[in-house]
Amino acid sequence: MQALALLNHRWFFECARALAVRVVRESPQDDRIDFVFRVCLGREPTDVERQILNDLLVQQRQCFANNTERAKMLIGESDDAAPINVREVAAWLAVTRTLLNLDEFITRE
């Protein structure tokens, strides 16, 4: 129940959106999965984790490849004056929402 509440909460969505924008703007394209994993979980992803996130990212990129309007609807308007690739941010939003909903992120052990 907690995962559903967090996944659908507006504040949590905004955090994931901001993180997706940060990933696209601040990290090199070939290091983005490792970057976001370190930011969220403070460690490097395993090969299996990296592959799962990469597969999700590829799937989301395909979903938004020809649908800029859908991507704009999903991520909303940017407060920042700097332009962003809305399709890429929308794809990364799925990845950041996934990471922010991991038990490892939510629960401190």
CA 20 to CA 92: how far, in whole Å?
5
- The pTM (predicted TM-score) of the whole model is 0.86
DSSP label at 41? H
Domain ranges, ordered by start, for the chain: 2-106
Task: Indicate if the pLDDT at residue 8 is higher than 80.
Answer: no
CA-closest candidate to residue 106, choices 15, 22, 10: 15
DSSP label at 101? T
pLDDT for the residue numbered 2:
55
Mean confidence (pLDDT) of the chain: 87
Task: Indicate if the pLDDT at residue 47 is higher than 90.
Answer: yes
Amino acid at 40: C
pLDDT for the residue numbered 1:
53
Task: Indicate if the pLDDT at residue 46 is higher than 80.
Answer: yes
Please report how many Cα atoms fall inside a 13 Å half-sphere around the Cα of residue 80, on the Cβ side. 11
pLDDT band at 5 (very low <50, low <70, confident <90, very high): low
DSSP label at 66? T
Phi-psi category of residue 28: left, alpha or beta, with phi > 0 → left and psi -120 to 50 → alpha? beta
CA 21 to CA 93: how far, in whole Å?
8
Q: Tell me the pLDDT tens digit for each residue of 49-84.
A: 999 999 999 999 999 998 888 998 888 866 665 678
Amino acid at 42: G
